[in-house]
């Protein structure tokens, strides 16, 4: 490896690390988004259960105070769901941004990797060409020395 390909190897490794880090950050953001969606689903299920209980209370002829208490609690659940939905929208934007950042790092990493690979191939071809030239020169020298020895005798 020449100095150029060594430098490119260092850059390629650095870009690969940056890509990996960006992917980890994207994964973390995605997990947070999944967690908040799970919370929202859980709250909605809980609200639905509570709503069913409210309907049951109403059909059983319970007192107004108890029904108002249930409605008040459902309002609080609705506010909690709305708050979590807002957090979810924020996290969706974050995930989209992190994905975009990762894609850019991925493209940069692949580009540098391709350049590094090309540099290595070029260096290999140059080394093979030098080796072939040396072998040709050695063969020519041996041929001259052999011819010189037979002509001189």
Say what the pLDDT of residue 83 is.
Answer: 98
Token representation of residue 68: 């108002």
Say what the pLDDT of residue 149 is.
Answer: 54
Token representation of residue 86: 């807002």
Q: Evaluate if residue 101 carries a pLDDT over 60.
A: yes
d(CA 132, CA 126): 10
Q: How confident is the model at residue 143 (pLDDT cuts 50, 70, 90)?
A: confident
User: What is the rounded average pLDDT of the residues 101-118?
Assistant: 94
CATH class belonging to 3-135: mainly alpha
Q: Which among 54, 96, 106 has a CA at the least distance from the CA of 75?
A: 54
Mean pLDDT rounded to a whole number for the chain: 90
pLDDT 10s digits, 44-74: 999 999 999 888 877 777 788 888 888 999 9
Angle between the N-to-C axes of helices 64-152 and 3-60, in degrees from 0 to 180, rounded to the nearest 10: 160
Dmax over Cα atoms in the chain, in whole Å? Answer: 131
Q: Evaluate if residue 150 carries a pLDDT over 60.
A: no
> Could you tell me the residue ranges of all domains in the chain?
3-135
pLDDT 10s digits, 21-38: 999 999 999 999 999 999
pTM for this model (two decimals): 0.72
Q: Which among 144, 129, 139, 120 has a CA at the least distance from the CA of 1?
A: 120
What lies within 8 Å, CB to CB, of 66 at 6+ separation is: 57
48, 77 Cβ separation under 8 angstroms: no
Say what the pLDDT of residue 1 is.
Answer: 64
């Amino acid at each position: 490896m020449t100095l150029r390909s060594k430098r490119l190897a260092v850059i390629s490794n650095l870009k690969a690390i940056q890509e990996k880090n960006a992917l980890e950050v994207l994964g973390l953001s995605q997990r947070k988004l999944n967690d908040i969606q799970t919370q929202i689903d859980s709250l909605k299920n809980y609200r639905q259960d509570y709503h069913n209980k409210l309907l049951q209370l109403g059909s059983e002829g319970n007192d107004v105070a108890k029904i108002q208490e249930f409605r008040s609690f459902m309002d609080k659940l609705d506010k909690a769901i709305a708050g979590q939905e807002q957090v979810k929208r924020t996290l969706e934007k974050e995930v989209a941004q992190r994905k975009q950042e990762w894609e850019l790092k991925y493209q940069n990493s692949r580009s540098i990797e391709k350049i590094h690979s090309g540099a290595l191939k070029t260096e290999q071809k140059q080394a093979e060409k030098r080796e072939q030239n040396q072998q040709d020169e050695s063969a020519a020298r041996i041929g001259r020395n052999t011819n010189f020895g037979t002509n001189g005798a």
